[in-house]
Amino acid sequence: MKNFILFLALLVSATSCFAQSQRRNISIVGSSTVYPFAALVGEYFTRTTGNLSPHIESTGSGSGFKRFCAGSGLQYPDITNASRLMTSEERATCLANGVTQIIRMKIGRDGIVLATSRAMPKLNLTLQDIYLALAMQIPDPEKPQRLIANPYSRWQQINSALPNVAIHVYGPPPTSGTRDAFDSLVMEKGATTFPLLRKMKKENPAAFKQAANRMREDGRWIDAGENDSIIVQKLKTNPNACGIFGFSFLKQNEENLQAAALNGYFPDSANIADGKYPASRSLFLYVKKQNSSMVSGLPAYLKEFISQRASGNRGYLVRRGMIPIPDREQRRNSEIVKSMQSK
């Protein structure tokens, strides 16, 4: 019994010892699109510098910002990956919680693809086609002044050039950064091709967001969760279905999957890098500069991330499906990291 009490006392004191003042590993959260790249860099970083591996959680961009902005102590993440920019609300939260020194680094570009199985004919879609296929409500084709429930069940009904195949699309849930980007890059652009919605956007932005981003709920759009590989599996087994996910997943599964062209452009490195492919976006790292002195290896990790062998035009990240950014922006990144290291 005495031993037991002693043990408990020891445990309590040990517990307080574990409250940290220095951390040996970098803590990274954020976008599931950037996650595989961050992990790959982490691996090279660990092997070459001998540092402890970073701890990388794939939480989605939104949750990543939330965690990142919660405070500046060691129990909060040092880096959040994002597939979109930080919003002004998120920045305000950060400032309110004492996260004042944030460095944003653009590390690459990514495309959101609408992929199908290779068994399906190649799709060539406009943004309007996609909007008409997926939105909950669309302008009435007869009386374009009002919205009606989406009547389409086959691609051909939308556009006679499209194949006569049932509409069936798996996509990311609203919490995902990929979904945010899809909404703003594809759905909203497609919606504004109609005068009714263009007017709405000017007069009532909230109602417009609702109309453009609300996906249909009759089973033709399916929220597939953050797990992109499940979508890939679904497409392999269901040749008529489409899936929405990041370009790198397409790259990993090119054997079985093909991408649809949007507004005439197929997603490939060149089209995504220069933005011709409409559903392309930039990928970012947000770094908490305040933590760089308390966490060993933080500048070294960033240095590895932007190095030529990683993000260069023939780097390992690029082989994994990340689209490199132009040299000018790469040089800017090296300057940022240099300034961090000198401190």
Q: Which residues contact 213 (CB under 8 A, 6 or more apart)?
A: 183, 187, 188
Q: Does 316 bind another protein (CB under 8 A)?
A: yes
85 vs 300 by CB, closer to another protein: 300
Of 166, 178, 286, nearest to 238 by C-alpha is: 166
Q: Which stretch binds another protein (CB under 8 A): 36-44, 107-115, 149-157, 274-282?
A: 36-44
- What length does the chain have? 343
- Type and span of the H or E element at 27: strand 27-30
Q: Which of 40, 112, 130, 272 binds another protein (CB under 8 A)?
A: 40
Q: Does 38 bind another protein (CB under 8 A)?
A: yes
Tokens of 259: 């991408």
Q: What is the DSSP string of 196-263?
A: HHHHHHHH-HHHHHHHHHPBP-SSSEEE--S-HHHHHHHHHH-TT-EEEEEHHHHHHTTTTEEEPEET
- Type and span of the H or E element at 133: helix 127-134
CB atoms within 10 A of CB 47: 11
DSSP conformational letter for 53: P
Q: Does 119 bind another protein (CB under 8 A)?
A: no
158 vs 323 by CB, closer to another protein: 323
Least distance in angstroms from the C-beta of 321 to another protein: 10
49 vs 175 by CB, closer to another protein: 49
Pairing of strands 242-246, 169-171: parallel
Q: Which stretch binds another protein (CB under 8 A): 73-81, 120-128, 146-154, 197-205?
A: 73-81
Q: Which of residues 48-67 bind another protein (CB under 8 A)?
A: 48-50, 52-58
Please give the Cα distance from 126 to 132 (Å, whole number): 10
Least distance in angstroms from the C-beta of 1 to another protein: 8
Q: Which of 2, 13, 18, 335 binds another protein (CB under 8 A)?
A: 18
Q: Does 2 bind another protein (CB under 8 A)?
A: no
14 vs 96 by CB, closer to another protein: 14
Least distance in angstroms from the C-beta of 100 to another protein: 21
Q: Which positions touch another protein (CB under 8 A)?
A: 4, 7, 11, 15-16, 18-20, 23-25, 27, 35-36, 38-40, 42-44, 46-50, 52-58, 73-75, 118, 227-229, 232, 249, 252-255, 258, 314, 316, 319
